[in-house]
Structures are given as C-alpha cells and as structure tokens.
A and B are shown apart, each in its own frame.
Chain A
Amino acid sequence: MLRYSLKRALSLVLSLAVASLVIFAVIEVAPGDPASFMLGVNAQEDTLAALRAELGLDVSKTERYFTWVAGMLQGDFGVSYTYRTPVSKMVADRMWVSLPLALYALALSTAIAFPAGIYAASRRGKAGDVAVMGATQLGVAVPNFWFAMMLVLVFAINLRWFNAGGFAGWDKGIWAGLHSLTLPAVALALPQAAILARVMRSALLDILGEDFMRTARAKGLTRRQALWRHGVRNALIPVLTIIGLQFSFLLAGSIIIEQVFYLPGLGRLVFQSISSRDLIVVESVVMLLVFAVIMVNFLVDLAYAAVDPRLRSRT
C-alpha cells in the first residue's frame, strides 16, 4: 500500500511539472501583449517597455517560467495586471467560495445517488427501478442552470427560504455561508446525482451477476445482505472514477451557476481575467485547477487501492 501510494505521488509530481510547462507555453503563444492591452493602443513605446519591465515580461521565457514556478512554490502567484493585487489573495478569496460549493454539491450528489442507485439495482425491472431511472433520465437531460432558475423561483421568490443570489461570506458564521450556498449546490448536484445514480446502478447490476454473489447467497446471506456486504464495495470502482471527474468539474465548471447566483467563485474569476487578458491570473488559476484535478485523481487512486486489494499488490 505504501509503495503504491508513493508511486501515485511520484506520478502526481510529474503530472504537475508537465502541466505547468504546457500551461505556460499555451499562455505564452496566445496573441496579445498584456502591457499594450493595459495601456491601450495609443501607448508610447517607452511607457510600454517600462510596464513590461515592471511586469517582468522583458526577460527570457525560460527565466520567466522558472520565476513563475518558484513563486508558486512559495505561495506567490504574482500580481494581477489589471487589479494590481496579489493573485494569491484573489484566488484564495474565490477559493473559499468555490471549494466549499464543490464539496457541498458533491456531498449532496453522493447522498442522493448512492441510495437511489442501490435501491434501483436491488429492484431491477420493478416499479421502483423504473421510477428512479425515469427521474435520473430527467436529471441528466435538464441543464443545471434551468434547475437553478427553478430553485430560485420556488425557494427564493415564492417561499423566501433562501436568497436569490450573492454570498453571505464565512465571517457571519458557517451556517450563513452554507445557507447561501445551498441553492447553487443543489442546482449543481442534481444533474451530477442523476449520472452518479445511473453509474451506481449499472455497476451494481454487473456485480449482482457475478459468481461470488451466488456464493454469498449459497452461504445463507439474504439478497439484501449479499448486496450490502459483497455488492456495494465491488461496485465502488467505477463510481469513484465518476466522483473524481465530477469533483474536478464542480470546482472549475460551475461558472454558469456562479453567474446565476452572483457567486464570487473561481469560474467567474477565470472568465473575467481571460476577457481582460490578465494572463498572470489566468495562468495561476488554471495551474491551481490543474493541481486540484491531479490531486483529486491522486485521492481517487488511493481510494481505489483502499477498496480493491488487487490494486495494492499490483503496484
């Protein structure tokens, strides 16, 4: 297990190194000079040069890459071209919205999907299964922003249980923060839960047909005991894969939901900095997201090994 973890960790570091190179290269080849963008088309050549020097754009690319990476390693992501504030602070502020939102949505989606998937699999072909499958079909088909608008209509405008948008901040207490994240989290979670429930159901159905499930029944386990003791854990591998993918998506891909609910999240930050060509912010946020995704994959790999002993010994 330790060797397996170390190997995965090594591959994590290598992935990060490669990702940082690719991100840097892609941003470098993107057309447009940040300095001239900031000063406008009529800027003087010497003013431009001065700004470039100030932004650190006048040195060689290799040097810039290493300065960037070294900075990141120390938590220094540079200063935003447009806002003139440290990127690390901007990102951290946004992260305090996006990360809890993603985790909240993931928790909700898992909490809905597991019981639904297991229930549907145990009632294969019966009314309960058909109902769950119908609901998940709907959940997969309907876009999450539509859910978001419906939630706002019902729970914010009619029932007035929640605010229609905005983020209360964590300084007013954890409940206030969670309260303002609830509607967006539900909107994000429902489609994900639908997908996850379907994956859970089909993974379980595959497992239910396995020989060892019959062995379990032959030992005297009831259907339900066999399902819980031998089925669920074996079905987790495909489910974990999907959870990992979903978390990465939730972290960075919630931009539409952030717009609907006026949330100051990472998605909006990326969107704004791309439109204002604030490359240093884009670079940093993308790198951070890549880090998050790779980290999630690493955790998923560890979870695989925890679930399946065959992976531990294969190393």
Chain B
Amino acid sequence: MSLLRIDDLSLSIHGFDILKGVNLIIEPGEIVAVTGESGSGKSMTALAVMQLLPDGARTSGSIRLDGQEILTLPETRMCALRGAAVGMVFQEPMTALNPVKTIGDQVMETILIHKAMPPDQAEDRAREVLTRVGLPPDRFPLSRYPHELSGGQRQRVVIAMAIALRPKLLIADEPTTALDVTTQAQILDLLKGLVDEYGMGMLMITHDLAVVADMADHITVMRHGEVVEAAPTPQLLAGMKHPYTKMLFAASEHQVTLPEPLGQEPLLAVANVVRDYPLPRTRLFARPGQHRAVDHVSFTLHRGERLGLVGESGCGKSTLTRAILGLEPVQDGHILLDGQPVYTGNRPNLAVRRRMQVVFQDPYGSFNPRHRVDRLVTEPFFLLEKPPTGTERRDRIAEMLTAVGLSPDDAGKYIHEFSGGQRQRIAIARALITRPQLILFDEAVSALDVSVRAQILDLLAELCAAYDLTYLFISHDLSVVRTITDRVMVMQAGRIVEQGETEQVFSDPQHPYTEALIAAAPRLPRRRPMVAR
C-alpha cells in the first residue's frame, strides 16, 4: 500500500478549474517532487492533501493517505491527521512563525495539540527535534523568539514543528526558495537526512529544477493543473517525453549570447565607498555602534559593459545599489558617473540621476496600479528638463513598447492586465525610455518563471545589441549572472571579495567564498540520452 495515493484529483475554486485529474503516488522513504511554473497547481495539490484549501474549493477524485480516504474525512478527523501524520513546511520562513510566541512554545504546540505526550515530555521532545534540525537548545534556547533567528534558522524551526511527531508524510512547499544558496544547500541536506532517518515520504513542491533533480526520487511535472509527465528522476532526466518538460529544462539552463563589449572608457567609477548605518545605542549614553554595510568597495564599470554583482542576502548589494543611484549618502569614498558625483550636498545630483535607471525585482509591486502604461513608462521623463510631449512622447512610448516585445496599443492599458513577464518588460521599457547611460537591474528576473525568465534574458541580449546597454546586474542567481554579464563581482559582508571576467570567475574561482557559493548552487546534471542495455 502506498503512503500517499492521489487518483484523478480535480479541484475547482469558485467554479475555476485549478486541478484536472492529477495522479500521484508516494511510497514511504521516497521523495517525490512536483514541479512546474506558477499557476501549474503544484501548491494547490499540496494544500489539497492537507485539506487546507481556500474557501469555495470543490474537490473530486481520491486522496488516500495510508489507505485512508482524505477527501471525505470530517474536519475534526483531518485536524487529528495534520501535524501528526502529515507535516508541512512552507516557503516563507520569515512569516511562517508566530512572531509573539517563543520557538519552544511553537514546536511544543504541535505535540500538545495532539495530546501526544504530557507537557514535560513534550518539552524534551521539542529540545530533541530542535537539536536534530541543527538548533541545539544550549545555543538556541526554547525561549527564543522568531525575530531573533535568521531565515535559515527559522526554516529549521518550521521543519522541527513539522517533524515533531514523526509524521509519515512531509510536505515541503518551496522550502528553500526564499533562502540563500548556501543556506538552501544546508536545508535540503537536512530534509534529505530526515527522510532517510525517519523513513518518511516527502512531497516536495518546487519550481527549481536543479533542486528537483538533486533531491527527488520521482519527478512530476505539472502545467495548468495537469500532470504532463511523471517518471523516476533518472529516467525523466535522460529521456523527457513531453515538449513542456523539455522546454522547462531548456529554459532553466537558458544561455544568451551578448554582443562584444565596447571599448574601455570608464562610465561609473566607485572608489573606496563606505556606507555605515548607526546601530541602536547599547547603553543610554554610549556612542551608538555602526554597522558597515558597504566596506571600502571600489570598481569601475566601462561604457557598454555588463557587470554582475552576486552575493547572499545582507551582503550589502542593495545598499550599494542605492548608493550608486544617489539615494543615500556614503560615509567615505566617492561614486562618479561620467566624472560627476551622483550625490551632492545632501541630495541626489539630478544632472547625473537622470542618466541612470533601475529595474526592480517585483513586477507586481513596482507599478502604481492606478496609472495607465503610457504614464508608467514615461515616469522617468519627470527627471528631464524638457520632457518630450505630444507626438514625440507617443512615438517614444510606441518605440519602447515595441522594443521590449509589446504592442504600442498596450499604452492605454492598466498594469493589472499584464502577466508578470509582461510587467517586467514594461519595467524595462520604463528604464530605457530616457536612454540612460547606466541601468541597474536589481534581482530583475528573480521573481519570474523559468520560461519567462529565459525570454527576458533574450530580450536583454537583444537590447544590448540594439542600444549598447551598460548595466549593473545584481542577483543572487549565479546561473543568470553567468550568462548575462561580461564581468562579475562577488560581494560578502560589505566587501567585494573577488571580481573578474565572468567566465573566468565561475570556472576558476579564486576566493574561498566564491568557491563555496558556486559549490552550494544546485545544478542540473548534464543530460545524456540513456543507453538501452
């Protein structure tokens, strides 16, 4: 008997079909990965197993856990299963824990709510599982609150809560998507170890194919609520049958060819830049401490060059970006664009500022939803002394929308009418419309699905050829940086620890940190056709 058996599961929410005839089997001790792009129904499949679907959900088909049908189970019985027989780990460790309760209380709650053991034993068990997930109580007392832990540590607490009662099935919904690569590698190791140790089955939901290939025994690929292909990992990697699967894997390894960089004329000169933030005073009359977010950073970006900046969260990437944009003063050093300072007195130097633009990560949050696309795209015109008007303005909008692969007619639409990828195209159009000398891409493709990401990378390569772009590409995603930049800088704790030709840095890293980063990043195995024996 399989641990989990999903047969012909269909789900609709308020009449919208979300899942169509999904089949899936998990055996004890097996890791089954469900992958696909956003909207494929992978998370809904997981929530259906937990019966934590949103209001208005209707299901048909069958989900059997250990032979027991879940879909018809009354809610009280379901509550008894959740947390005890099935544990779940979520994507966002920063928000998955209750901020006002200690980690000990939260881990113990799983045990106590099921009345699995008396409180004193529950506390011992909490200590035990927290130790098992790498948070020994002598260093991480049960009285800690979630805000006193890092993202990776919080995810460990969430895992401890999920495994406290040794469930037979662990569901992990994008468990490492919000984490840095080195933390991701540790958490994946932990999950794998737990599956082996406890003989659990694991349903892992992730969009990251490299993680899938690395972790799963069995892969299920979903699109639009349907399973398009499912096979044991080696077979699937060796011989993908469905064109969508092939497209997904191709897209996540997508490479672009950038035009040759232009000459060696410096455009952006960053010299010895230091950015300190004051820390809260430790004592009333003590001098406040300083947090050095950017520590003597120097580099030069040449005209027509594509420079990458990689590093983990908190390394100072964003602070450096803001300093370059002139949004913040620096405590030491200087930042010059074409020989002029980006920040003068106590405000950004507007004459310089109008020659830079930025594209942000979140295609959903970075537009005012009440404005039409023409107004959104022309926002940088406010920086200009004489913004184009009338026909010229219209022509510029049309040209830019066409350049990013949209239609000039889209100018009259509102932002909610576009998909994430289209929005990012609009963001690029907005950045390009004043023909800035420098563009900063701050995690600009991180929130996109792999197929959309591949298209945006292609678009960038095309735009490089058409407009001789110079940009700084900030990302935590090494594979993207590798293909979209000529040179790369690796940042750690406010310092640039290594910089050089991108290919050179990636194939022969000099600094141990760069090496660790590259080693931690999950990679798709080289695919070879399986030889029939």
Contacts and interface: CB of A to CB of B under 8 A. Distances in A.
A221 B79 contact: yes
Given A219-B82, A229-B109, A211 B90 contact: yes
Nearest to B97: A212
Nearest to B52: A217
Contact of A211 (B76, B80, B84, B92): B92
Interface stretch (A94-102, A242-250, A307-315): A307-315
Contacts of B109: 216, 219, 221, 229
B239 interface: no
A26 interface: no
Interface in B130-168: 145, 147-148, 158, 161-162
Interface residues of A, number: 24
B82 A220 contact: yes
> Nearest 8 A-B pairs (CB), nearest first?
A220-B83, A219-B83, A211-B95, A218-B88, A220-B82, A309-B145, A212-B98, A219-B110
Given A212-B96, A309-B100, 14 more contacts: A211-B92, A211-B96, A214-B90, A215-B88, A216-B98, A219-B82, A219-B109, A220-B79, A220-B82, A221-B109, A234-B99, A310-B145, A313-B145, A313-B148
A218 B113 contact: no
B81 interface: yes
Interface centre among B83, B100, B101, B148 (most CB of A within 10 A): B100
A123 to B, nearest CB: 12
Contacts of A215: 88, 90, 96-98, 158, 161
A315 to B, nearest CB: 6
Interface residues of B, number: 32
B435 to A, nearest CB: 42
Nearest to A307: B100
A210 B97 CA distance: 9
Contacts, number: 78
B50 interface: yes
B174 to A, nearest CB: 12
Interface in B37-81: 50, 52, 75-76, 79-81
B114 A218 contact: no
B387 interface: no
A233 interface: yes
15 contacts: A212-B98, A214-B52, A214-B96, A216-B109, A218-B82, A218-B90, A220-B82, A220-B110, A222-B75, A230-B98, A230-B101, A234-B98, A308-B100, A313-B145, A313-B147
A225 interface: yes
B169 to A, nearest CB: 12
Contacts of A234: 98-100
A220 B280 contact: no
Contact of A309 (B75, B96, B99): B99
Contacts of A212: 95-99
Interface in A185-220: 210-212, 214-220
Interface string A74-99: 00000000000000000000000000
